[in-house]
């Protein structure tokens, strides 16, 4: 496979962009090789600057549930652009999108639009602290909620402790208000509440997507809800990745619980920068200009991104069998990968919900970040490179989810499985 243009593009980018990329994972640091510089996409495929085609299981890290350059979404964007890009004033479209989201989900009475998942979670935390008049938060090791300082915190000497900054530039005075618990371990959450009597909220991905794909156990989520109620803490469910991806009701749809606040992103923007946070009206009404909690954004709710979101959600609503179809493909893919690996005695753990899936080169079930870190990342890197050379684009890290889009079909999935079988054979006999 000729990738000369990507090699040259990457070298050029590194001269003016730190690391040559505008988001670290894109640099292929954990899998090696040269990141592909993408020229265009259509449906299930992306095409690099050397015109190599790849079946794409990244789908812009989740937003493109209908694949690249979907004609329905594109048409909505083209019409919106003709009326102007941004006004810095309210539009009816913002209300339309918010009403769509509220009507299709649960736990949301009011909502505010922002530009990114990081903004959504950061704002939800500020709101939770103001509502409860408490300072501390509980997050889970391995869950990613954006790159705001309060959330770039990892476990300290052990889980259920106040965390340590996980990035230079995050000061200890901020991280000391973040307690870190172990995913799917309710005892670690109880320990956090025992450590601090000042917990404002718990924030969690009900379907974790940044330690690889790891769903929360149903009983764990129910117990988490009960603990929050007991300690008068808000439960924030981060649906930035899973919202309208795992199902119409995201992760919440898999659990018999209600959230106090929910964050959304990715799919609701249809590929454009757009996110949101919402929840109970009494909490949301603490936001300025109604209440005193300040939150703002120059391009929040801009008509271009909102138009893409409206079109995407409308298309979802018009396709009642969408998620069943996507989940069938995800099941077909993950089972196929597991069986292909098994023929060579390569242990592989797989899971899926709706159009989200993941796999770990691990001989035990993955329930938390410690389990995930025991996976064979070297094997993942070799497999990733083999599949890339065969025209299959998986996430360039063991610790990321994969995504199915509606432009895929069984024949395409079977082709990927066949290529995986080839890749495993080559790895074993090298």
The token pair at 335 is 């089972």
Q: Average pLDDT in the 378-399 region?
A: 96
Q: Average pLDDT in the 37-65 region?
A: 98
Fold designation for 72-317: 3.40.640
Q: What is the pLDDT of residue 154?
A: 73
Spans of all domains in the chain: 4-69+322-429, 72-317
Q: Average pLDDT in the 33-55 region?
A: 97
CA-to-CA distance for 99 and 106, rounded, in angstroms? Answer: 12
Share of the chain above pLDDT 90, in %: 91
Residue 49 CB: number of other CB atoms within 10 A?
17
Fold designation for 4-69+322-429: 3.90.1150
Please state, rounded to an integer, the average pLDDT across all residues of the chain.
Answer: 94
Q: What is the pLDDT of residue 163?
A: 58
Q: Average pLDDT in the 211-232 region?
A: 97
Residue 173 CB: number of other CB atoms within 10 A?
9
Burial class of 110 by CB neighbour count within 10 A (0 to 12, 13 to 18, 19+): middle
Q: Average pLDDT in the 264-281 region?
A: 97
SS (H, E, C) the chain: CCCHHHHHHHHHHHHHCHHHCCCHHHHCCCCCCCCCCEEEEEECEEEECCCCEEEECCHHHCCCCCCECCHHHHHHHHHHHHCCCCCCCCCHHHHHHHHHHHHHCCCCCEEEEECCHHHHHHHHHHHHHHHHCCCEEEEECCCCCCCCHHHCEECCCCCCEECEECCCCCCHHHHCCEEEECCCCHHHHHHHHHHCCCEEEEEECCEECCCCCEECCHHHHHHHHHHHHHCCCEEEEEECCCECCCECCCHHHHCCCCCCEEEECHHHHCCCCCEEEEECHHHHCCECCCCCECCCCCCCCCHHHHHHHHHHHHHHHCCCCHHHHHHHHHHHHHHHHHHHHHCCCCCCEEEEECCEEEEECCCCCCCCHHHHHCCCHHHHHHHHHHHHHCCEECCCCCCCCEECCCCCCHHHHHHHHHHHHHHHHHHHHC
| pLDDT of residue 414 exceeding 80 | yes
Please give the torsion angle defined by the CA atoms of residues 83, 85, 88 and 92, in that order, rounded to the nearest 10 degrees: 50
User: Sheet holding 392-393: strands in order across?
Assistant: 38-42, 45-48, 53-56, 392-393
pLDDT in tens, 295-314: 999 999 999 999 999 999 99
> Hunting for tokens 């609503």 — which residue is that?
317
| pLDDT of residue 164 exceeding 80 | no
> Do 35 and 6 meet the contact criterion of CB atoms below 8 Å apart?
yes
The catalytically annotated residue of 93, 134, 139, 266 is 266
| pLDDT of residue 420 exceeding 50 | yes
Please determine whether the domains at 4-69+322-429 and 72-317 fall in the same fold group of CATH: no
> Do 199 and 193 meet the contact criterion of CB atoms below 8 Å apart?
yes
Q: What is the pLDDT of residue 88?
A: 93
Q: Average pLDDT in the 361-369 region?
A: 96
Q: Average pLDDT in the 28-51 region?
A: 96
User: Is 266 considered catalytic here?
Assistant: yes
The catalytically annotated residue of 238, 260, 351, 371 is 238
Assign 200 to helix, strand or coil: strand
Residue 191 CB: number of other CB atoms within 10 A?
17
User: Is 338 considered catalytic here?
Assistant: no
Closest alpha carbon to 239 in 147, 105, 331: 105
Q: What is the pLDDT of residue 169?
A: 77
| pLDDT of residue 170 exceeding 90 | no
Q: Give the ranges where 84-233 is alpha helix by DSSP (H).
A: 92-104, 117-132, 172-175, 186-195, 218-230
Q: Average pLDDT in the 357-366 region?
A: 97
The catalytically annotated residue of 144, 183, 255, 323 is 144
CA-to-CA distance for 126 and 53, rounded, in angstroms? Answer: 44
Q: Average pLDDT in the 74-86 region?
A: 96
User: Is 144 considered catalytic here?
Assistant: yes
Residues 6+ apart with CB under 8 A from 345: none
The token pair at 301 is 């709710």
DSSP 374: T
CA-to-CA distance for 249 and 241, rounded, in angstroms? Answer: 12
pLDDT in tens, 100-159: 999 999 899 999 999 999 999 999 999 999 999 999 999 999 998 988 777 777 755 454
> Do 106 and 280 meet the contact criterion of CB atoms below 8 Å apart?
no
**Mutual orientation of helices 303-317 and 71-82 as an angle, nearest 10°?**
150
Assign 41 to helix, strand or coil: strand
Q: What is the pLDDT of residue 157?
A: 42
CA-to-CA distance for 268 and 266, rounded, in angstroms? Answer: 6
């Amino acid at each position: 496979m000729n990738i000369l243009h990507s090699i040259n593009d990457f070298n050029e980018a590194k001269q003016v962009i730190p690391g040559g990329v505008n988001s670290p994972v894109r640099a292929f640091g954990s899998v090696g090789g040269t990141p592909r510089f993408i020229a265009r996409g259509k449906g299930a495929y992306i095409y690099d600057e050397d015109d190599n085609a790849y079946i794409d299981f990244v789908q812009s890290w989740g937003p493109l549930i209908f694949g690249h350059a979907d004609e329905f979404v594109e048409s909505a964007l083209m019409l919106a652009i003709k009326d102007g890009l941004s006004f810095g004033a309210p539009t009816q479209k913002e209300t339309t999108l918010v009403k769509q989201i509220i009507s299709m989900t649960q736990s949301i009475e009011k909502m505010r639009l922002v530009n990114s998942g990081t903004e959504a979670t950061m704002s939800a935390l500020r709101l939770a602290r103001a509502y409860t008049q408490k300072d501390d938060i509980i997050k889970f090791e391995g869950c990613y909620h954006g790159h705001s300082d309060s959330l770039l915190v990892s476990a300290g000497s052990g889980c259920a402790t106040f965390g340590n900054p996980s990035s230079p530039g995050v000061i200890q005075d901020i991280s000391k208000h973040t307690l870190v618990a172990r995913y799917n371990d309710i005892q670690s959450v109880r320990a956090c509440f025992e450590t601090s009597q000042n917990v404002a909220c718990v924030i969690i991905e009900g379907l974790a997507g940044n330690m690889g794909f790891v769903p929360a156990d149903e009983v764990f989520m129910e117990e988490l809800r009960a603990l929050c109620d007991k300690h008068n803490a808000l439960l924030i469910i981060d649906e930035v990745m899973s919202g309208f991806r795992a199902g119409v009701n995201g992760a919440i749809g898999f659990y018999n619980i209600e959230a106090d606040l929910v964050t959304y992103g990715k799919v609701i923007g249809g590929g454009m920068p757009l996110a949101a946070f919402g929840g109970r009206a009494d909490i949301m009404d603490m936001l300025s200009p109604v209440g005193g909690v300040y939150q703002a954004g120059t391009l929040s709710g801009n008509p271009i991104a909102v138009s893409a979101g409206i079109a995407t959600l409308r298309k979802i609503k018009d396709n009642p069998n969408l998620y069943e179809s996507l989940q069938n493909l995800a099941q077909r893919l993950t089972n196929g990968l597991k069986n292909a690996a098994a023929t060579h005695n390569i242990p592989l753990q797989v899971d899926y919900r709706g159009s989200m899936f993941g796999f770990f080169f691990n001989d035990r079930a993955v329930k938390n970040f410690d389990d995930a870190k025991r996976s064979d990342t070297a094997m993942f890197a070799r497999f990733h490179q083999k599949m890339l050379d065969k025209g299959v684009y998986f996430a360039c890290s063991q610790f990321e989810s994969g995504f199915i889009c509606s432009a895929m079909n069984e024949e395409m999935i079977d082709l990927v499985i066949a290529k995986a079988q080839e890749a495993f054979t080559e790895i074993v006999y090298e």
